[in-house]
Structure 1
């Protein structure tokens, strides 16, 4: 019940966050293989790359170079959230790191781009995740969207 209320609130927050600056409508993608889902403005992310053969997720692209990867993966190495945070941080300039009982949030810089990476441990050893990247010059456009997109991340 709490998750359902959080999902409803997240959808409302996303609608408010994206309605004013860009009047974009929300779109929810659900990955068929892992059940990973996330809601984001489809008027910002206007195209997506071809789905990989293993069906683990999709990469959406924005005309200004921003990208949003939504994916699931098996926790084959049985990593803890702390271990996953360490692994996911390799080679990145991480300025924000939070690790919970069943989730990880990382943010910082990947070269010239800002990134926000959220990973959640779901049932049956699945990790649900999204990775948002955008240029520092587009910070004012993307920063208001991060919370609502993050709160919409869901999976079984």
Structure 2
């Protein structure tokens, strides 16, 4: 059987749509020592990918195309969200930025990826989610990123 590029592209597109049609299974990830809690799509981020600084866990997709870090870290200087973000030296061309007295959320592009970071501040801890995923799948990730972000909490 002879395959054309068009047929291959159609098969890949169909398999991608079929995979995205599967319901997403959500789980709650807790960091007991910090009180950090977040909903995350455990059917997407299936692989443990190490530990971040402070407390928490890194996850990635089975194919490694996307990753998620759930983290709580000390805010030793008791920085405000704006001061903490400034010390991280974010890139100059941030596409989305929201900073309040209790959290910041920033997002932009880096190469062929979208990155999104949200950090909530409580006491001397910063509770964060950091997500990286393919830019070409940005619309597919919008609802997932929103749910993760809005579910981030601390006791």
Give the TM-score, by structure 1 length. Answer: 0.77
Measured at CA, do residues 142 and 127 of structure 1 come closer, stay the same or move farther in structure 2, by a change above 3 Å?
same
Output aligned runs, 1:18-37, within 5 Å. 21-37=21-37
Moved more, 71-80 or 135-144: 135-144
- 1:106 is aligned to 106
Across the two proteins, how many residue pairs are aligned to each other?
135
Q: Unaligned stretches of 5+ in structure 1?
A: 1-19
Measured after TM superposition, the shift of residue 92 of structure 1 is 6.2
Larger radius of gyration: 2
Task: Write out the 4+ residue segments of structure 1 that deviate beyond 4 Å after TM superposition.
Answer: none
Measured at CA, do residues 28 and 48 of structure 1 come closer, stay the same or move farther in structure 2, by a change above 3 Å?
same
1:155 aligns with 2:154: yes
CA distance in 2, matches of 1:49, 1:121: 25
Structure with more relative contact order (C-alpha pairs < 8 Å, separation 6 or more): 1
Give the TM-score, by structure 2 length. Answer: 0.78
Measured after TM superposition, the shift of residue 38 of structure 1 is 0.8
Measured at CA, do residues 63 and 89 of structure 1 come closer, stay the same or move farther in structure 2, by a change above 3 Å?
farther
More helix by share: 1
Native 8 Å contact 1:97 1:107 kept in 2: yes
CA distance in 1, matches of 2:21, 2:152: 22
Q: Unaligned stretches of 5+ in structure 2?
A: 1-19
